[in-house]
Amino acid sequence: MPVKAFEACGVLAGGASSPVRAGTPVGGAPFVQSSGRGAYAFDATGRRYVDYVMAYGPLLFGHAHPALTGGLDAIAARGTVFGSTHEEEERLAARLCAHVPSVEKLRFTSTGTEAVMSAVRVARAFTGRPLLLRFAGNYHGHFDAALLGAGASAASSTDLGSGIPSNTSADVVLARYNDLADVERALAGRENLLAAILVEPIAGNMGLVLPVDGFLNGLTVRARNAGALVIFDEVITWLRLGLGRAQGMLGLRPDLTAFGKAMGGGFPLAAFGGRAEVMRALSPDGDAFTGGTLSGNPFCIAIGHRVLDLIERDPGLYERLEAAGGRLADGLRAALHAAEFPATVTQCGSMVDFKFRAGAAASNYDEASAIDRKAFAAYYHAMRAGGVLLAPSPNELMFLSSEHSAADIDFTVALAHEALRSALR
């Protein structure tokens, strides 16, 4: 039977429900996916691509993993949403807290945006202060205070056209990632207004940017000295890097943490939590309101248990993910070397990235943005034409899953040799 090509009917605003999917930074027709299985995405013609988008992070176990998608009828048959709390919700909260010692109390949400937005509200309520310090190039979701100077191509200003009221900027201050002197500049004279420093402890929305030694610790000290809180946005990193990561990996203890993406295994499940004393600012104990019709729904909570089951029962998982990430990073290093382009490949577990800029890895958004965008677009299209799907924006990175095989990675690297040669010509 002939396969009918996808025809956009033009009703979907901007052509996609999240702008990055429109592929504007690379031009050309956006990728339209018809299905996914394991490490692969399929288009409408049935063509297979090795997928490194992995839905921008949640798919730690690839597409449609049987342990996450099998037997869903039985879960749904007990009810998909209650207007009441339930035992499994409390049990999942306890399981999460057991892995992340800084979290004594938590609340579930459906999206990472809600989780971070709620954590910011709790911090403001607890401290009785308005000011939020954030980092250019970090992304925390699409609430107003998060979008000023954000990464992930979401940067918005308070110009009227962005829909963000101008007074938002009165309570948000931006600093350069990995730059404690810039944090001090940004805060000077306003320390007593500071509610929280919000940070991606490992930044994944300006490509992959690792924190330099002392940066996160320095933030913690500055927040403490100002009487403010530290909020880690681990929406990407928790479970992708390990059961206690990134805070466990870095030996740090933020006051509040936001979780999302991988914890829901591809279903809408997220959470925020932290010190019990701080979380008591939340209604009904305190006055700070957060809630949600779908928050903590039994369907997604059941999936959250399945995700933790898969991870807890597989002690070798993170070692394998690390090895896969290392294989890809080494292969890309060799491909860049062969193309005589001295870019630095960055890897953290199953996250891999390089930029079309020569020299050391980017350490902040200014550096991460100073790239050859034409070369990136050409590389993206050459990879896609050859059967590898990358995110269509240089602000994203490559996500691996448990399902990416050595053969998938070697295929990707072989293709990268050709794609880099043609992109950098």
**Which C-beta is closer to ligand PMP: that of 331 or that of 349?**
349
Choose the binding region for ligand PMP from 81-89, 188-196, 199-207, 386-394 (rule: CB under 6 A): 199-207
- Judged by CB under 6 A, the residue of 62, 112, 201, 248 near ligand PMP is 112
Please say which residue, 152 or 339, places its beta carbon nearer to ligand PMP: 152
Q: Let me know: does 392 contact 41? Beta carbons within 8 Å.
A: no
Is 350 near ligand PMP (CB under 6 A)? Answer: no
Residue 150 half-sphere exposure toward CB, CA atoms < 13 A: 22
- Residues 224-253 contacting ligand PMP, CB under 6 A: 233, 235-236
For residue 54, state whether it binds ligand PMP (rule: CB under 6 A): no
Tell me the helix, strand and coil percentages in the chain, rounded to 5. 40, 15, 45
Q: Does 140 bind ligand PMP (CB under 6 A)?
A: yes
Residue 121 engages ligand PMP in binding (rule: CB under 6 A): no
> Any contact of residue 56 with ligand PMP (CB under 6 A)?
yes
- Catalytic positions, written as ranges: 139, 233, 261
Cα separation of 425 and 361, whole Å? 22
Q: Which is nearer to ligand PMP, 112 or 392 (CB)?
A: 112
For 167-192, b where at least 16 C-beta lie within 10 A, e where not — what string?
Answer: ebbebbbbbbbbbbebbeebbeeebe
Q: In a 10 Å sphere around its CB, with 0-12 CB exposed, 13-18 middle and 19+ buried, how is residue 342 labelled?
A: exposed
Choice from 102, 113, 158, 395 touching ligand PMP (CB under 6 A): 113
Going edge to edge, which strands form the sheet with 40-43? 33-37, 40-43, 48-51, 388-389
- 73, 408 contact by CB (below 8 A): no
Q: Which of 33, 111, 127, 168 binds ligand PMP (CB under 6 A)?
A: 111
Minimum CB–partner distance for residue 369 and ligand PMP (Å): 17
Q: Does 141 bind ligand PMP (CB under 6 A)?
A: yes
Phi, psi of 54 (to 5 degrees): 45, 45
Using Cβ positions, the residue closest to ligand PMP within the complex turns out to be: 112
Q: State yes or no: residue 274 binds ligand PMP (CB under 6 A).
A: no
- Return the number of the residue (152 or 382) whose C-beta is nearest ligand PMP: 152
* Part in contact with ligand PMP (CB under 6 A); list of ranges 32-40, 135-143, 371-379, 404-412: 135-143
Least distance from ligand PMP to the Cβ atom of residue 30, Å: 18
Strands 270-274 vs 256-259: parallel, antiparallel or unpaired? antiparallel
Token pair of 363 as six digits: 């350490």
- What whole-number distance in Å separates Cα of residue 235 and Cα of residue 105? 17
Choose the binding region for ligand PMP from 5-13, 138-146, 207-215, 224-232 (rule: CB under 6 A). Answer: 138-146
Site map for ligand PMP, 327-346, x if CB under 6 A?
--------------------
Please work out, in degrees rounded to the nearest 5, the angle formed at the alpha carbon of residue 364 by the alpha carbons of 320 and 257: 60
Joined tokens for residue 183: 């944090």
CB contact at 8 A, 387 and 47: yes
Give the residues lining the site for ligand PMP (CB under 6 A): 56, 111-113, 116, 139-141, 152, 200, 204-205, 233, 235-236, 260
